[in-house]
A = this chain, B = another copy of it.
Amino acid sequence: MSRILYSLCGADASAPFSPHCWKVVLALRHKGLEFTERPVGFTEIPKVENGFSKTVPILKDGDALISDSFAIALYLEQTYPDAPSLFKGEGGLAMARFVEAWSLSTLHPAVTRIALKNIHDRLAPADQAYFRESREARLGATLEEVATGREAAIAAFPEKLTPLRNMLKFQPFIGGSEPLFSDYIVFGAFKWASQTGNTELLDPNDPVTNWYERVEAFTEKG
């Protein structure tokens, strides 16, 4: 098989955790496309496909190489137009960009604060040094300092989901009657948290929890 998804893992290759890679996993399942996932550590990314991209996900599809989760979703939509759509039209494609911007600016900083130290602790030793140096430079604080805000970030997390929770009064998915790439964008943030050991950020009866379970069921049925 010639379709390979390079994703991100820690010491345990069976628990890939990158939110952006999970978006692509679900997009590939949505399209019904077979693929082999090859999780790599942070410091291995520059060796993937001759240094094609500084970040994963990287999708190798036959001769095509694509990086960036949204670009991969666009590629899949254009390359496999007869498989179920990831956007359901021009408006859905445009608004997935809004959902992405919301998720990145609202959920990702929170999950960073909640999961950062857990992520570090799960990495292979070579990656831990890279991770600590790059993240501490980006955040302007040590991993341990960021971790002091963890409980407060967990407490504040459910309120950040208010737009999604309110939308779910009208329809079961962001994409409407079935999930679309916009659902996988938000799902990725939750999967990132759960794969790094933060599994109880929401109440089991929260409508957002129920939505997460529906997305998971939909993409695992294939």
In the complex, A98 Cα to B182 Cα: how many Å?
A: 10
In the complex, A56 Cα to B160 Cα: how many Å?
A: 29
Q: Which residues of B contact A99 (CB under 8 A)?
A: 95, 98
Are B94 and A175 neighbours in the complex by a CB distance under 8 Å? yes
Q: Which residues of B contact A94 (CB under 8 A)?
A: 88, 92, 171, 173-177, 180
Are A91 and B87 neighbours in the complex by a CB distance under 8 Å? yes
Indicate how many identical chains form the complex.
2
Are B101 and A164 neighbours in the complex by a CB distance under 8 Å? yes
Q: Which residues of B contact A106 (CB under 8 A)?
A: 162-163
**Chain B nearest Cβ from A69, distance in angstroms:** 13
Are A90 and B88 neighbours in the complex by a CB distance under 8 Å? yes
In the complex, A101 Cα to B166 Cα: how many Å?
A: 6
Given contacts A102-B163, A166-B104, contact A175 B88 (CB under 8 A): no
In the complex, A97 Cα to B89 Cα: how many Å?
A: 15
Are A180 and B91 neighbours in the complex by a CB distance under 8 Å? yes
Chain A contact residues: helix, strand, loop or mixed: helix
**Chain B nearest Cβ from A90, distance in angstroms:** 4
Q: Which residues of B contact A95 (CB under 8 A)?
A: 91-92, 95-96, 98-99, 174-175, 182
A-B contact pairs, 24 of them (CB 8 A): A87-B89, A88-B89, A88-B91, A89-B92, A91-B93, A91-B95, A91-B180, A92-B92, A93-B176, A94-B171, A94-B173, A95-B99, A95-B174, A95-B175, A98-B163, A98-B167, A100-B167, A101-B163, A101-B164, A101-B167, A104-B166, A105-B162, A105-B163, A106-B162
Chain A residues at the B interface, C-beta cutoff of 8 Å: 85, 87-102, 104-106, 162-164, 166-167, 170-171, 173-177, 180, 182
